[in-house]
Structure 1
Amino acid sequence: MTDTLTPVLTDNWDADRAWTLASYESRGGYGALKKALGMDQDAIIEAVKDSGLRGRGGAGFPTGMKWSFIPQANPNPKYLVVNADESEPGTCKDIPLMMASPHTLVEGVIISSYAIRANHAFIYVRGEVLHVVRRLQNAVREAFAAGHLGKDIHGSGYDLDLVVHAGAGAYICGEETALLDSLEGRRGQPRLRPPFPAVAGLYASPTVINNVESIASVPSIIERGADWFASLGTEKSKGYVIYSLSGHVKKPGQYEAPLGITLRELIDLGGGMREGRQLKFWTPGGSSTPLLTDEHLDVPLDYEAVGAAGSMLGTRALQIFDETTCVVRAVLRWTEFYKHESCGKCTPCREGTWWLVQTLARLEQGQGSEADLDLLLDQCDNILGRAFCALGDGATSPITSSIQYFRDEFIAHLAQGGCPFDPAASTAFAAEGALA
């Protein structure tokens, strides 16, 4: 790992009116586009492959490889779709990026679309973030007026139309095939695969779907070179990313750093924990990733190391909780969210998340018995790997990991007849050593 912080995507966020075309171009914006238009399209794909860029939306799949799956012999149109439906609890990197510097994403869209020979691209944004939708739409208008979009872009003979589409606020539309159904005007529900989107995606045509941060990283790769990008990060997790640090830290926010930085370093950058408090548990990639504890402070935050620790890097949504937080209540709140957001298409997720909430709520209220913990694990086992998409799997992650690390706290709820973190019960709970 090189420097602690590597501002690239966030480098211009402090510029005056950074979201405008004039400000973006004053810092070299759209220079990478002009360079890309002079390159062979396959050479751009190879550069992205060589850079080691992996999907920044959670799965970590190699971006260049995904692009190469597009069958160019297919006579149907090719499409690029940007997944900007950021809705994972704790994740807050894409919306600030689009708000502060929408042209970074727009330039990435144009280069990426050119590489895969797509003449139509879409940015699918959460409908609730109307301010971001308007800012993106204005950036697209500016790009059209400047000749960066439209017909015969900069005399290259390449045409591209870009549409900003506002979704209807369903968490499930963050799943790429549900997003496609929503974009086509249908109810957002996951599709059965195969066929995969690369073969039959939007309008049954070859489609690439990438996260905002993945596409926004492409201009820097073209401008500075694949070797430069690959020099950052770790051996298998290349480049820089935006870490969303939130919760019980003094300075929550977005921290752009190479993959492989540790949570201890990020918390130090964030001013440390709240005064007089210590870390209890945290999520490395949002609430759908297994919890980690203070034992994992020095785990490198890359795909391989976090996976080896028993969790997933996901969207790098680092939610930090100190010892005043009831882990049972936190997990219950997340599970209620997943129950509410289940699209209902498959039985394991539709019924399973409902039963998870019932069992967890009973435990949180100090009712039931220790056998309910085994019941919870059995319910999770019946959902994991059996749901239509990853929502069901994600709903089980905080439950199984919290029981693994904090089983005593669940039992304390039963012994106390309620939450030990209630003011009336906290003294007795601490006396029993359950907070140790």
Structure 2
Amino acid sequence: MLRQPRAVWAVAFACVIAFMGIGLVDPILKSIAAQLDATPSDVSLMFTSYMAIMGIAMLVTGVVSSRIGPKRTLIGGLVLIIVFAALAGSSNSVGAIVGFRAGWGLGNALFVATALATIVMSASGSTAQAIILFEAALGIGIASGPLVGGVLGEHSWRAPFFGVSCLMIIALVATAFFLPTTPPSGRKTSLADPFRALKHKALLLIALTAIFYNIGFFTILAAGPFALPDAGIIQIGWVYFGWGLLVAFVSVVVAPIVQRLVGTVPAILGTLVLFCADLAVMAVFADHPTVVTIGIVVSGAFIGSNNTLITEAVMGAAPVERPVASAAYSFVRFCGGAIGPYVALKLFEHGGQVHVHAPFWFGAAAVGLGILVLAAGARTVAGRTAHDPAGSEPETEAVLAGDAA
């Protein structure tokens, strides 16, 4: 599996850096708020703009890639990340950073939605081995992002942004030189295809469940640092490094075992119940930093498991091509990632006072709603997930990348 062409390693390295962007800003949220005279909800918009544009862009990634080819799509996404990450680091206001994070989200959407298919297409060995390589890159990026953000953020809150930009330049050069030209192939998709896919009830139910789950997910990312008032940048970086390690390990190793033992839908419901309970415990004991720290790290297990399990469910939820199902699902669920951080931190600062318990109660309630939605449609979803979508191929499972982003 490790004897791969240089093109595969070039794209895998770029994946690591791209996935760093998920947790990179966590350690520096409080520093940005303090130095740019912003409120917690102001800085939360860095997640909102990023996720909102990611969701919208997921509707067009298939359209773009099917017309200009994967390599050009990858390079276009990398260029956008380089430019907007550097601009964010050069900004002097939270509003500017929020705007540039939106551009960063567009670049990330173009890149990650194409990266897995490119690795599978270029790799030697089986498709399963190529997907393991992709998931390994995903895990390394998710785990290392907060730590890199913490280490660089100790010097300046700007440093993590510039660091990503510089690393992406290396990834861009490697991809341009080592990845062969990849002309467009397959059917050209349209903007209407994802919306047609959502007419299938099972896919819609999973996407709606994922909205509420993502509210809880991004409540952990956005509200966690502010619930640790005495923790410095590097300490927060280590906390989310532990979180990222669990996300990666459980998603790759544990979740497939649980899925085989109990089935996809029961495993998702069980994971959501545990995640909801974790958020509720954090809400009750939000005044105790040790409990919050443990809760953040442990949530990585539930998030990693749920990402993998919902990916499997989406793949068979509708009789459409997998890139189309991915685009439809990602568009809907990223609404949760866009809404969650802002509402959570608005509750945190409501009335000019600090309400440290409120964000976690909000996240727990949202995940609880997701449980009710999926439980109500469990039979429908289970009936579809036993079937493979018509006309799809394993190498098009770009939804994995969407879950990571």
What TM-score, normalized by structure 1, do the two folds share? Answer: 0.27
Structure ranking higher on relative contact order (CA contacts 8 Å, 6+ apart) = 2
Work out which of the two has the higher radius of gyration on C-alpha atoms and give 1 or 2: 1
**Structure with greater helix percent:** 2
Kindly indicate which of the two structures has a greater share of residues assigned to strand: 1
